Structure 1
Amino acid sequence: MSLLRAEGVAKRYGATVALEGLDLAIAPGEFFALLGGSGSGKTTLLRLVAGFETPDAGRLLLEGRDLVPLPPYRRPVAMMFQNYALFPHLDVFDNVAYGLRRAGVPSAELRRRVAEALALVRLAGLERRRPHRLSGGQRQRVALARSLVVRPRLLLLDEPLAALDAGLREATGFELRALQRATGAAFVMVTHDQAEAMALADRIGVLERGRLVQVGPPREVYERPATRFVATFLGGANLLAGTVRADGGVDCAEAGCVLRPAAPLARPAGSAVTLALRPERVRMRPEAADRAAAAEGEGPNATRGTVVEIAYRGELSTCLVRLDGGTALRVSRPSAEGVPARGTRVALAWPGEALTVLAD
């Protein structure tokens, strides 16, 4: 059974389409991440579920109950805003207690629940501090405690880690995941950070111009993107265009080789097709190193080229290789394994299962 269902949800702002015919189901206790570029509709969907906006069409159901007629304060949903929206004139205790006071919770229960929430986010002892005396990570945890203290069935998170510096993001992300498991609430997180979404979420959904183009576990969406947009937005895959052969392979002039996916393509010969290839799935060896490297640059799923740029990214380095067929291919490998210098001739190869046929 789904906790939350969106059925045919649409929202426009004048001539601008924010969401169009969106269908989505969130399971109880699930951590779900929504990914997409600016203007894709991510935050609009959160605001519709929270009750701050009204859909133009479609239904939003929480455990089978229609949310749309209900005002925000009557929905068993909490939302944590990107800027945390803490009250600067209230201390930590009163910020966390705000929703309970509005709900008329008796004072003894209120104090107990606030204490439990602050202990959960490791802020016990800071009850009387005001927001300006807290670090960014502490303010984020106050906002989380304020959201969780009302015991929502569903917590909506709008870029929850965006205001934190890089050193805090990973540690705070792990804390967020642990909190989600401890409370049992379903979390729906909006983020533009792909690594963050894949590290934290049970499933991710990718939005493009108001449409949900792919939903699935992070590994599935990353390794088997459904569309050109998903392939390039999530991890920056190489796109290789070609023409289907009678034997199910693909003639790819720009790569200078025949592409052979794990299974022959069941498409008419002569039809156009685009395949995605992740940079880390490409093997790269200096062409002059030995005969094996020379042989690796020949045959299906193998080609040659010249390293023209190198980007060091810490654990990984990415090379831009100009293929003899004319196109440029991104190739990633662990920095510790060493990277050929610019100008090096290289042989490239990849397995058939590394190629994904795209729907568009």
Structure 2
Amino acid sequence: MVEPLLRLEGVTRRFGATVALDALDLDIAPGEFVALLGGSGSGKSTLLRIVAGFEAADAGRVLLQGRDIGALPPHARPVSMMFQSYALFPHLSVFDNVAYGLRRDGVARPEIARRVAEALAMVGLTGLEGRRPAQLSGGQRQRVALVRSLVKRPPLLLLDEPLGALDAGLRERTGFELRALQRATGAGFVMVTHDQGEALALADRVAVLDRGRLAQVGPPRQLYDRPATRYVAEFLGAANILEGGLRPDGAVDCAAGCTLRLATPAGCEAGAPVALALRPERIRIVAAPPAENGITARLRDLAFRGDGWMAVVALPGGGDWRVALPADAAPPAPGAAVALAWDAESLVVLAA
């Protein structure tokens, strides 16, 4: 069994009466890219700062390559951190920014020159060694900050909203470059982000935090397709939440006004309340709703998103659902009745 690169054991952090991290456990494998995802106050940034050494845990252990680093100051930890602001030295050139950490470590000049040149070549910045940060674009500054963090070859790189300062088009392109660089270096990456698409596209695993606890951890597709809790379902992809009571035959009488037939048993006794997640893209418009897993609703609003339509429908039992339709669909006008259907496999039973 491969020893984790990073192991967090019962990490707890309090700020007065507020519990920012609540006995959190998490293992990260060597060379793994993990995204910490959650809303404001979920604890993701606090966790990153504890690993970096800028915050001290009130309880628990932080183990890097099997060594407890909880008592080490930031500069003594074999960890690099890239900040959202990039924190480049404005008075230093690109070369000197990247070389800064190597010089502090006493690396010989020829080795510094070789490693800086190699790092800049990896991100396409060869020839810009003499420029200062103010002479670079936002994307170029981001890449300088990234290779400055990696040039010391740390086993673990921490990234705090690394793409947050870039515009949408540049973020996507730079995100793929970030992923490629992580693969090329073999370093473990832990990235804090509030952007769901970013986390799903880049990470090997996504850890969703909710009020200082891990709500769910797993590969992006697994979390999206099979959310474990209501929080994960709503936060990651904004699923529709269906509630109802379990019947003796295993079906669910949904409060929205329809009958739900599940692909697998709900795992509770008849009469128990059940909550399920249904993704907007798993719902389709049909000529007439089936007796089970179907409903007639009224189209309340419609928005074109380039790659498709997002419809909001009002349910007969009250409340709204979101329904994603393909771009080439010809959706009815707002106010029209629409028959909807979905497959039993698309219904995910939520634990809480």
TM-score by length of 2: 0.98
Residue type matched to 2:91 in 1?
A: H
Q: How does 1:53-64 map to 2 (within 5 A)?
A: 53-64=55-66
User: Number of matched residues?
Assistant: 350
2:280/2:323 contact within 8 Å kept: yes
1:279/1:330 contact within 8 Å kept: yes
For 2:251, the equivalent position in structure 1 comes to: 249
Q: Give the Cα separation in 2 of the matches to 1:196 and 1:56.
A: 31
Quote the offset at 1:151 in angstroms.
0.3
SS at match of 1:268: coil
Q: Give the Cα separation in 1 of the matches to 2:127 and 2:151.
A: 17
For 1:126, the equivalent position in structure 2 comes to: 128
Q: Give the Cα separation in 2 of the matches to 1:147 and 1:183.
A: 12
- Residues 1:299 and 2:291 are matched in the alignment: yes
Residue type matched to 1:339 in 2?
A: P
For 2:271, the equivalent position in structure 1 comes to: 270
Q: Give the Cα separation in 2 of the matches to 1:231 and 1:310.
A: 22
Q: Give the Cα separation in 1 of the matches to 2:97 and 2:235.
A: 37
Q: 1:169 to 1:305 in 2, by over 3 A?
A: same
Which of 5, 8, 13 aligns to 1:6? It is 8
Residue type matched to 2:204 in 1?
A: D
Quote the offset at 1:242 in angstroms.
0.2
Q: Give the Cα separation in 2 of the matches to 1:212 and 1:253.
A: 30
For 2:53, the equivalent position in structure 1 comes to: 51
Quote the offset at 1:206 in angstroms.
0.2
Q: Give the Cα separation in 2 of the matches to 1:54 and 1:110.
A: 33
- Residues 1:93 and 2:85 are matched in the alignment: no
Deviates most, 133-142 or 15-24: 15-24
Stretches of structure 2 lacking an aligned partner (at least 5 in a row): none
1:238/1:277 contact within 8 Å kept: yes
For 2:69, the equivalent position in structure 1 comes to: 67
Which of 303, 309, 314 aligns to 1:311? It is 303
Q: How does 1:14-25 map to 2 (within 5 A)?
A: 14-25=16-27
Q: Give the Cα separation in 1 of the matches to 2:332 and 2:181.
A: 44
Q: Give the Cα separation in 2 of the matches to 1:253 and 1:242.
A: 5
Quote the offset at 1:267 in angstroms.
1.5
Please give the root-mean-square deviation of Cα atoms over the aligned residues, in Å.
1.0
Stretches of structure 1 lacking an aligned partner (at least 5 in a row): 286-292
SS at match of 1:337: coil
Quote the offset at 1:157 in angstroms.
0.5
Q: Give the Cα separation in 2 of the matches to 1:123 and 1:32.
A: 26
For 1:80, the equivalent position in structure 2 comes to: 82
For 1:231, the equivalent position in structure 2 comes to: 233
Q: Give the Cα separation in 1 of the matches to 2:308 and 2:17.
A: 43
For 2:140, the equivalent position in structure 1 comes to: 138
- Residues 1:343 and 2:335 are matched in the alignment: yes
Residue type matched to 2:244 in 1?
A: G
How far does the alpha carbon of each residue in 1:229-287 deviate from its partner, in whole angstroms, 9 at most, with x for none?
10100000000110010111111132x111111023232111111111000000113xx
Moved over 3 A (4+): none
Residue type matched to 2:263 in 1?
A: A
Which of 219, 222, 225 aligns to 1:220? It is 222
Q: Give the Cα separation in 1 of the matches to 2:33 and 2:296.
A: 43
Quote the offset at 1:172 in angstroms.
0.3
Residue type matched to 1:100 in 2?
A: L
SS at match of 1:336: coil
Quote the offset at 1:340 in angstroms.
2.1
How far does the alpha carbon of each residue in 1:297-346 deviate from its partner, in whole angstroms, 9 at most, with x for none?
13111110111100211102110111222231110011122322212211
Quote the offset at 1:208 in angstroms.
0.7
2:240/2:280 contact within 8 Å kept: yes
2:61/2:68 contact within 8 Å kept: yes
Residue type matched to 2:141 in 1?
A: R
Q: 1:238 to 1:300 in 2, by over 3 A?
A: same
Residue type matched to 1:2 in 2?
A: P
1:8/1:57 contact within 8 Å kept: yes
Q: Give the Cα separation in 2 of the matches to 1:36 and 1:110.
A: 38
